[in-house]
Chains A and B, each alone.
Chain A
Amino acid sequence: MRLDKEQSKEYLAEIRKDMPKTKHVRTMVRAFLTGGIICCIGQGIGDAIKAIFPSMQEDEVGGFVTMMMILLTAILTGIGVYDKIGAFGGAGSIVPITGFANSIVSPAIEHKREGIVLGLCANMFSIAGPVIVFGISASVLVGIIYCFI
């Protein structure tokens, strides 16, 4: 038997009442776990670099950690694993720097068929572009403000 429109609407409203809460908690726990693990990997890479090169400066270590995390993410995105991490972790896979790297590589690969220049390269910045624009603009603003303080 087919439900008429009214009935199915009522039914949907009823399930939606119960649905969001459980979904909220589950996605939050997953984001927490994923994000926590990614940050721990970053900390681990940093500690390893410091152990191998004890004379390296703090800023330099940070730069290398960022690059290592980006390299790892790019490879995981390339072989299709990061999509799965993203499906599980939600914001846990977006908020870390790995999410930024994924947002560059993922659309680039997706649009590769349209050509190297206008497909791959142009789409590298479909999400990362705004991030870079806002980040650099904000940094210039902060710098100028500090000039006059």
Chain B
Amino acid sequence: MDMFLTYLIVFAIGGGICMVGQVIINLTKLTSARILLIFLLLGVLLEAIGVFGYMKDFAKAGVTIPIMGFGSNLAKGAIEGARESGLFGAITGGVKAAAAGLTGAIFIGFVVSLISKPHSKS
């Protein structure tokens, strides 16, 4: 029962965030790159003001799977870096924390694109 509730929250919050994105698309016709940017920067901002941690405790993957989670990871790393080793940490911390996502996306994307054949969009 506890697990069911967790997944219900994840579904509701994650779906809700995507629905907000859809509303923005419907109203402004923004392209997907700008939508990604908006949510990424929102994640950075929420982490910077210290709210994202509470959201993560409550909604888990519901807020970390949306690109906000990537933004918050970047900001979190930079903040931790700044606390531990000052300016150098502030500059290197973000990418260090987001290394899994970045490297994964680039390497996996490269290999899969090499293997796959172009297909016409129908």
Can you sample 5 A-B contacts with CB below 8 Å?
A42-B14, A94-B35, A103-B36, A139-B98, A142-B44
Nearest to B7 among chain A residues (CB) is: A40
Let me know if A31 and B37 touch, CB within 8 A: no
Given contacts A40-B61, A139-B93, contact A134 B40 (CB under 8 A): yes
Contact of A105 among B25, B44, B81, B113 (CB under 8 A): B113
Give 1 or 0 for each of B1-26: 1 = CB within 8 Å of chain A CB: 00100110011111111110111111
Report, as a range, how many residues of chain B touch the other chain.
Answer: 35 or more
Which residues from chain B contact A127 at a C-beta distance below 8 Å? 32-33, 36
Among A114-139, those with CB < 8 Å from B are: 116, 120-121, 124, 127-128, 130-132, 134-136, 138-139
Closest to A116 in B: B114
A145 to B44, CA, bound (A): 13
B residues bordering A, Cβ < 8 Å?
A: 3, 6-7, 10-19, 21-26, 32-33, 35-37, 39-41, 44, 47-48, 60-62, 64-67, 69-71, 73-75, 77-79, 81-83, 86-87, 89-91, 93-95, 97-102, 104-106, 108-110, 112-119, 121
- For A24, give the chain B residue with the smallest CB separation: B26
Of the candidates A78, A113, A139, A142, the one having the most CB atoms from chain B within 10 angstroms of its own CB is A139
Of the residues B75, B100, B112, contact of A142 by C-beta under 8 Å: B75
| Chain B residue with Cβ nearest A128 | B105
The 7 closest A-B CB pairs, nearest first, are A35-B18, A39-B14, A143-B90, A139-B94, A36-B15, A63-B100, A143-B78
Task: Select B15's contact among A33, A83, A103, A108, beta carbons within 8 Å.
Answer: A33
Q: A95-B67, A135-B40, A147-B86 are in contact. Are A37 and B11 (CB under 8 A)?
A: yes
A136 close to B95 (CB less than 8 A): yes
Nearest CB in chain B to that of A87: its residue: B121
Q: In the docked arrangement, what's the CA distance between A91 and B38, Å?
A: 12
